[in-house]
Chain A
């Protein structure tokens, strides 16, 4: 009798444990909430994180920055202008509709209308439907980044978004800050569906029973996502066990999370570059290459990373981080105070000069402190800096006016590609093409621009990489701007949350594949 009871207890225990492993709940706290359920309303980290839960892209990045098939199972280049994609069969949308090529076409057309995504899809002339499960993406000119941009195509359920909503508006309406059908309802092919959503407070996701990816090890059945803006509160919620997964973790709290028996820290080197730009139009001295070099030599990137970022960043000597095509191994951060003074002397500025500097104080990690450190480093070569730091909301209008001599800007390439940095940060300003839109240094080098332009039409990827490496080298030698560092990424995960396997440098964790044990 006793034996039977014991074995019965064993069975009960085993089944509860197994059930626990199969159906897990995950409480997530990010620092922000997507503005809308419409994946095309805003191009932001929050939107992309949401898109990977509710929708699925044609292809996505894996951990090593290679392309992984999702709704497209394979692809091949037909000619210089055409890339053919073969779509997965037997995929269902949340509404129950079948996923076919017409949904991809519909989504593509909508992307071309979206103010935020229009620029990314500008190189494409058309998306042609070949049959129900084959499409061709056709570009205007030979274009190397077709797959990079295909990571932004999250097919929407065209039948679901067709017609009129109860207010008499078309369901596919795409408007900023407006209450549209698509901003409140979603039907994608993704691993989760939205059960309940209180904007800015909480969103509940439930696993989609008919999700196509049966190979996925993911066992999280429900996700509740709470945006928690304050870093210390987010960390406390994790340490107290109130949530299981957080992003970001402020550098000061890394040790606490590692020390706690309840949680662990997962980190990756990031791809967001922080830089200072030296405005040549406002300051005569910045036109002199020697002065720009002196500034680069005077600023101790490694020191900033070590002291201010607490080691939680990678000191940069160029724009694109390691892993990007244009990365050049030997372009290291320069720091040599003697050389800096020497260069200032050669340029005739031994006595130095006074300049203004503006930086945000709530946009990048430790931004204001980094700016202060840089300013005091410049004092050592007699450049007196009048520094002002302001909140990002007020910073951007000032930045657009290029209203200070040195300004801080961080950049993450939307295409995960080196050329993107130059196009926005260091190219000659051209309002027609949008190039140099964030070049508050007014650095302008036509040769560099031409190199990037040719790289953008080079479909031989190794040739292209060589050109982009030349670009990085030229900018480095010219001291076109001051690279500081790439911010690293840190997530905090509760015990049993195997976050390591789903996080990535783009910071859209693939929670559909997440395994939670216990």
Chain B
């Protein structure tokens, strides 16, 4: 186990090094940061002087070397727009994104497991057809359209839910501003979480359904039924447990997709999280922030995948993590 974690750590560092190199080398193609910082009528000479002052005229290797020597000390540069260390800016937005992802995950689990199981057990009922029909629709509608439609229906027409932002927040131990502790905060969470969940919900319903159908045809389930165990126990303990392995694997992979979709969801709902921050940073050519974001997201990927592998081992002890794949 320790060996596995150690190997993962090395891999993670390598991944982040590559990300830093790539993001650093594309930054020149993102545009001129000076243009976003100065007024239109500022002369070219004036801009050149500022560029020189900021070290933007240095050769690539000099700039990258400067970046790396600071990065190893945990300093990923200073955001042009926020005027604060980029890492600090991102970390300040992390709670908002995590709460959004958490809410969406919760919705996915709460909806996809029962409906997937139901669809497997009652393949011919009208409800099954309805769920599967809706899920096709869900797959084919882009997340920002779902989001805009939700805003239109629930905020503008019905007036039930707020249309943007995080609402009232409560500070937990001064470390984390949470929206889960006030009614206003929770109301603000509903639409963005739903919009974000909508993209993955159909996938999980279908996956759980098909895995479950397969499990229901296995001998041990038939045997458990024959033994006279209660149906609920057969479905939810015996069968479901075995469907969860592939679901977990897919889930781990989907985390990446989720990060990408937070960018869309957050920008439609003006959600002050990391994804929105990133999009704004691209518009403003805030290169230090862009590079830092990519590195942080790379780190999140590595951590999540490690956690998924560990969980995998816990659910199915026959998987040996430390042994290289054959």
Contacts and interface: CB of A to CB of B under 8 A. Distances in A.
B31 A414 contact: no
Given A199-B82, A396-B31, A241 B159 contact: yes
A306 interface: no
Interface string A251-273: 00000000000000000000000
Given A119-B41, A396-B31, A431-B44, A230 B270 contact: yes
Contacts of A438: 40
A163 interface: no
A177 B78 CA distance: 9
Contacts of A4: none
A345 interface: no
A225 to B, nearest CB: 13
Max chain A C-beta neighbours (<10 A), residue from B50, B270, B277: B270
Contacts, number: 133
A396 B151 contact: no
A116 B30 contact: no
B285 interface: yes
Contact of A230 (B42, B83, B267): B267
Contact of A229 (B37, B159, B270): B270
Contacts of B45: 431, 434
A200 B81 contact: yes
Nearest to A117: B39
A204 to B, nearest CB: 14
B44 A393 contact: no
Contacts of A226: 164-165, 270
A424 interface: yes
A199 B282 contact: no
B35 A115 contact: no
Contacts of B38: 42-43, 115-116, 176
A232 interface: yes
Interface in B39-61: 39-46, 49-50, 54
A509 B46 CA distance: 30
Contacts of A177: 37, 54, 78, 80-81, 83
B30 A394 contact: yes
B298 to A, nearest CB: 23
A365 interface: no
B37 A176 contact: yes
B223 interface: no
Given A176-B50, A179-B83, A394 B43 contact: no
Contact of A35 (B35, B37, B156, B163): B37
Contacts of A183: 83
Interface in B230-264: none
A92 B3 CA distance: 68
Contacts of B151: 232-233, 236, 240
A395 B165 CA distance: 31
B148 interface: yes
A230 B29 CA distance: 24
Contact of A397 (B32, B49, B277): B32
A340 to B, nearest CB: 32
Contacts of B162: 240, 242
B220 interface: no
A393 B270 contact: no
Contact of A119 (B42, B78, B82, B285): B42
A117 to B, nearest CB: 8
A229 B277 CA distance: 11
Interface string A391-435: 111111100100000000001001000000000100000010010
B146 to A, nearest CB: 13
B214 interface: no
A290 to B, nearest CB: 32
A74 interface: no
Given A35-B37, A242-B155, A431-B45, A233 B82 contact: no
A368 interface: no
A58 B280 CA distance: 34
A240 B80 contact: no
B269 interface: yes
Nearest to B36: A393
A424 B268 contact: no
B165 A42 contact: no
Nearest to A35: B81
B81 A240 contact: no
A434 B40 CA distance: 12
B156 A236 contact: yes
Contact of A43 (B32, B42, B43, B283): B42
A233 B30 contact: no
B95 interface: no
A332 interface: no
B163 A200 contact: no
A237 interface: yes
Contact of B152 (A178, A229, A236, A393): A236
Given A177-B80, A179-B83, A236-B164, A437 B159 contact: no
Contact of A233 (B29, B83, B164): B164
A392 B40 CA distance: 13
A236 B283 CA distance: 22
Contacts of B267: 229-230
A119 B69 CA distance: 38
A10 B286 CA distance: 57
B272 A437 contact: no
Contacts of A431: 44-45
A43 B50 CA distance: 15
Interface in A226-249: 226, 228-230, 232-233, 236-237, 239-242
Contacts of A411: 40
Contacts of B84: 179
Nearest to B267: A230
Nearest to B288: A177
A226 B46 CA distance: 32
Contact of A437 (B32, B43, B156, B268): B43
Interface in B277-313: 277, 280, 282-285
A272 to B, nearest CB: 11
Interface of A: 35-36, 42-44, 115-116, 118-120, 176-179, 183, 198-201, 226, 228-230, 232-233, 236-237, 239-242, 362, 391-397, 400, 411, 414, 424, 431, 434, 437-438
24 contacts: A36-B83, A43-B38, A115-B50, A116-B38, A120-B41, A200-B82, A229-B280, A233-B151, A236-B148, A236-B152, A236-B164, A237-B164, A237-B270, A240-B151, A242-B162, A391-B31, A393-B35, A393-B282, A393-B283, A434-B43, A434-B44, A434-B45, A437-B43, A437-B44
Given A201-B272, A226-B164, A233-B164, 7 more contacts: A43-B41, A116-B39, A116-B41, A393-B31, A397-B31, A397-B35, A414-B39
List the 9 closest A-B pairs by CB distance, nearest first.
A393-B31, A43-B39, A240-B155, A177-B80, A179-B83, A434-B43, A396-B35, A116-B39, A240-B163
